[in-house]
Amino acid sequence: MSDSRIRGLEEVDRLSVPLPHGTEVTTRVERLTTGGRRIPQGVVGRVVRARDGGLDIQIVGVGEVWFAREELVPRRPGQVQFARRREAAWQALGPCVVLETRVGSHAWGLANAQSDVDVRGVFALPLPWTLGLVDPPMDLVSADGSTTYWEVRKTVEQALRADPNTLETLFVPGAKALDELGEWLLAEREAFVSQAIFGSFGRYAMSQLDKLTRSQRLAEHRDLLLEWLCEDPTPDLDEVARRLAAVSPRQSPTEQDALLAAKTYVKQLYRSLWDQGLLTANDFAALITYARGGGQRPPSARELRPKNAYNLLRLIATATGWLRHGEPVFEASGTLKARLLDIKAGQVPLEDVLRDAEAMAPELEAARRESKLPEHPDYPRADRLLRRVGEEVARRWVLKVPGALGREAPAAPETEWRDSE
């Protein structure tokens, strides 16, 4: 039996391979936290962010701890290969970027001195990368995650679905074409605009705000529940559910329904803490150990602030204006800008943010009813654009036109057939 593999990935230096956000790693050194807690060598954690030449690692029951790159190795071979492929694609195809945009708070007029600079854009695949057995990358992502480029076809497909990130990349005034192909994308971007932004922008934002509200309620009950689990004797799941049902403001048709909802809440809680790397297992026993072990606690409900909620309100405002006036305005101004900055700074309770969103919903609905935008995007126009781009990429390669898509195109990944072990 044989399989197809990219040559060069069998032997990689695990100390030099990039470690993207989310990678599981193993520590190579012992470390003492600022609180004096000992973290032994060989502990497993997850990469949270790159910082100061090293990486912040989330460790179960401890929290975030900084390590130098050489003090970490990827935990699984597959992650090594993924990181290697991502870095190799970034290096090889970087010159093939055809469009670039600075997005996020800088594009929205909401940046401050601490704001990250986020960049998105579009790249084209040289012809040889589209012809072999190896699936070409559809995304290029920088090691710190601040810059993302999508392949041309993927960009078009996302834009036709009215994906907010993609439309923002194409329509923000600072969008810059780095190649003639990028100019074509900007010239044809109106083909992607339709009333679908009502759902992708507005309805999406409303649903996310509702999730934020549920998350806050989860945090409020979490603090109380963790206190119960520190009692002697420790209450079991049934007792915790009974107490939770008694204090929950949520109405249920019957007592049994209330108990079922409470147990579901407990499962959601330990799943959430497990996903954050704070539990050793995804179960109630691990939740008890965590509660009684004095490990790092997530922020209390009082400390939770809608850090991302301002962006969701901005999406609603953008969708409303685009549907009503036919053109997007991404930069906030006036009273809306002031309100968004207050929300971003954590000065507005989440309940007030949700009320703001609910107050904006009727205007969003009215804008959709009155909108002169087409009901659907212009699929034939988008298809012609993709074909034109494909033909131009092929022309440059065949004629060896100077540039990253022609004479200087990066070599496509090689494959080799090997017997599976």
How far is the CA of 13 from the CAs of 9, 16, 80, in angstroms? 10, 6, 9
Strand partners, 68: 54
- Distance between CA 143 and CA 348 in Å, rounded? 33
The answer to whether the CB of 64 falls within 8 A of the CB of 48 is yes
State the DSSP H helix or E strand holding residue 6, giving kind and residue range, or none if neither.
strand 2-6
Sheet hosting strand 63-68, strand order edge to edge = 63-68, 54-59, 44-51, 24-27, 72-74
* Residue-level pLDDT at 371: 96
Please name which of 154, 196, 116 lies closest in space to residue 378, comparing C-alpha atoms: 196
* Residue-level pLDDT at 357: 85
- Distance between CA 55 and CA 144 in Å, rounded? 10
Please name which of 183, 197, 161 lies closest in space to residue 100, comparing C-alpha atoms: 183
What SS3 class is residue 153? helix
- Distance between CA 340 and CA 314 in Å, rounded? 8
What SS3 class is residue 261? helix
Residue 70 per-residue DSSP state: G
How far is the CA of 138 from the CAs of 79, 150, 154, 193, 371, in angstroms? 18, 6, 7, 23, 34
For 340, half-sphere exposure in the C-beta direction (CA atoms, 13 angstrom radius) is: 24
**Residue 352, C-beta contacts closer than 8 angstroms, at least 6 positions apart:** none
Per-residue pLDDT of the chain (421 residues; tens, 9 = 90+): 344 444 444 445 666 677 877 788 888 888 876 666 778 888 888 888 888 778 888 887 677 888 988 888 887 766 667 777 788 899 999 999 999 999 988 888 888 877 888 999 999 999 999 998 888 999 998 877 789 999 999 999 999 999 999 999 999 999 999 999 999 999 999 999 999 999 998 878 877 777 676 666 666 678 788 889 999 999 999 999 999 888 876 667 888 888 888 888 888 888 877 776 678 888 999 899 888 886 555 554 444 445 567 888 899 999 999 999 999 999 999 999 999 999 888 788 877 888 888 899 899 999 999 999 999 999 999 999 999 999 999 999 999 999 999 999 999 988 766 554 4
State the DSSP H helix or E strand holding residue 241, giving kind and residue range, or none if neither.
helix 237-247
Residue 282 per-residue DSSP state: S
* Residue-level pLDDT at 15: 64
* Residue-level pLDDT at 386: 98
- Distance between CA 114 and CA 147 in Å, rounded? 17
How far is the CA of 278 from the CAs of 62, 229, 282, 289, in angstroms? 7, 16, 10, 11
Tokens of 192: 């992607």
Alpha helices by DSSP H, listed for 1-141, are 77-93, 105-108
Which residue in this structure is represented by tokens 């994906």? 163
**Residue 412, C-beta contacts closer than 8 angstroms, at least 6 positions apart:** 126, 128, 129, 131, 132, 134, 136
Tokens of 94: 């970087």
Tokens of 57: 């690692």
